[in-house]
Structure 1
C-alpha cells in the first residue's frame, strides 16, 4: 500500500482529544481514526466483549495498511490491550505490527505531578473496575497512593451536548466530592477517560486551585514521539503524506462529524464502516 498510516482507535469520540495532541506533536504523518460509535459505550461491557470489539477494529485498521494502532481509549486499553499484545498479535500474518494504549504512558509520568503522593483517578466504570491504573502506577511509583472514582454519567452528558448546561454542574460536583472524600491529601486528579478534557475547565472550577487536573492527550503524544524514536523499524514504515481519514461504525456520519469536531477542535468529515463488516476481519 502506498500509505501506511498510524491508526487511532476509540469506542467513540473521546480518542479525538488524544488524536488532536498527536497531530500537534507529529504533523505530516498519515493517520486513520476509527470510532466504534455503533457499539459504544464500552465502559459497562465485559472484558470479553470489549476485547472482541477492539480486536475486530484493530484488525480492520491493519487491513487499511496501519503498522501501528493506538488504542486512544482507556476502557479498551484496560480490558483488551494486554490480550491483543500477548496473544492476538502472535497469530497474524505480519506479527511486526504493533498496538499501544494510553494507560502505561500515563502511569509512567503521573506520579511526577504529585507532591503529597496521593492521586485521584476519574474514569469509566470499566476502567476503574479493571484496576489497571492501580497496577501500572504502582509499577512506576510504588510510594504513590491511588484513589479511584467512576463517573458513569459524564460521558452521556458530554456526548448528548449537556455538559455545558447548568444541570451538568451537579454531576461534576457529585463525583468530585466522592473522590475528594477518599482523602484530603489528593493533590492531583487524572482524567482517565479521553472524553473528560471536554469538561476539564468545569472540573477545575469545582476543585481548589492547588489541585492539578491532568489530561492524557499531551502525555500520550509525547510518549508516541519517544516510541517512534526508539523503534525505527516502525517509524520507517509509517508514511508521511499528510493525509487524515476518519471512520465511524454509525451510519449517521453527519451526527458523528458534528460531535467529532468538538473533540477534535477542527471540522471532521467521516466515512461509514459497518460494525457487521468488521467480523470478516476476525
Structure 2
C-alpha cells in the first residue's frame, strides 16, 4: 500500500476515530488522509498499559511505512496509555525523528474549562483512560480551579463496535454510568465524552441528562487543535500532501468497516483490510 503521498495518519482502536476524522475533514479538506481502525483487537479500554502501548506503537510504525510524517491518535485510551512513551522514547530512535505523533487528551483539556459554570466537570471514558488519570492531571495544569469527576463506561465501546448502541438495551447502560457519575457530585454541569466512540451515543445521552447540562464531544476540539498545530509548524505542514485522497483501512472485515463508516461519515467509502 506504499505510495508517494504523505498523508496525515489517523488511528483508532475501531470506528470511533471516524467522528474525529469527520470534523478534521471539514476544517482541513485539502490534505490526504490515511485512517486505520484496529477493529480486530478492539476495544482497547480494558487492556493493560503494556498491551495498548504495543498495539499503538505497532500501528504508528505501520503509518510511517505508508509515508505519514504526522499521526494523530484519535483514541483516548491510546493517547492515555501509549502517547508519552512513543513521543519521548520511540520517536527519537526512529530513522526519521522529525515525524510526529499527537493525541486527543491535551488539546481537549486546554479548553475544557471554558464550558463549565460550576467548575465541576464529569469525564466519561474507558476503564483504561479513567485509570490513567490523564484527564485530572492535564486539567489541573490549565484549569486548577476545576474539579474533575470520572466514570468508566466499559460496556459503551463494545455496544458501539457491535452496532447495538441504538437499541433499547443500550439505554440501560447509558443510564447506569450516567447515574454513577452524577451520584459522585450533583453540581456537575459539563460532561466530556472522553472516548471518540461516544458521540455515536449522543441521542441517548441527551435523553438522560438534565436539559441544562453541556455535553462536550471531542471531534471539533481536536480538529481545531490540528489546524493550530499546522499553523505553528510550517515545517510539518509543508511535508503533507494535498490531493484530497482519503484511504481507510481496518484490521478486521473491510466490508463491515465500510458499512459502518458510511453511517458515520454520511457517504460511501472503500476500505482495505490489513495485518499489523
- 1:50 correspondence with 2:55: no
**Aligned residues between the structures:** 274
- 2:220 is matched with 218
The correspondence of residues 195-206 of structure 1 with structure 2, limited to 5 A, is 195-206=197-208
Q: Would you say the 8 A contact 1:30–1:243 is kept in 2?
A: yes
- 2:274 is matched with 273
Q: Which runs of 5+ in 1 are unaligned?
A: 276-282
- 1:136 is matched with 138
- 1:234 is matched with 236
Tell me how large the CA RMSD over aligned residues is.
0.9
- 2:258 is matched with 257
Shift of 1:268: 2.3
Cα distance in structure 2, aligned partners of 1:240 and 1:210: 42
Shift of 1:17: 0.3
Q: Would you say the 8 A contact 1:114–1:187 is kept in 2?
A: yes
SS of the residue 2:151 aligns to: strand
Shift of 1:28: 1.6
SS of the residue 2:184 aligns to: coil
SS of the residue 1:267 aligns to: coil
TM-score by length of 2: 0.97
- 1:279 is matched with none
The correspondence of residues 8-27 of structure 1 with structure 2, limited to 5 A, is 8-27=10-29
Cα distance in structure 2, aligned partners of 1:179 and 1:200: 17
Shift of 1:262: 2.4
Shift of 1:38: 1.3
Q: Would you say the 8 A contact 1:14–1:263 is kept in 2?
A: no
Cα distance in structure 2, aligned partners of 1:136 and 1:55: 22
Q: Would you say the 8 A contact 1:113–1:212 is kept in 2?
A: yes
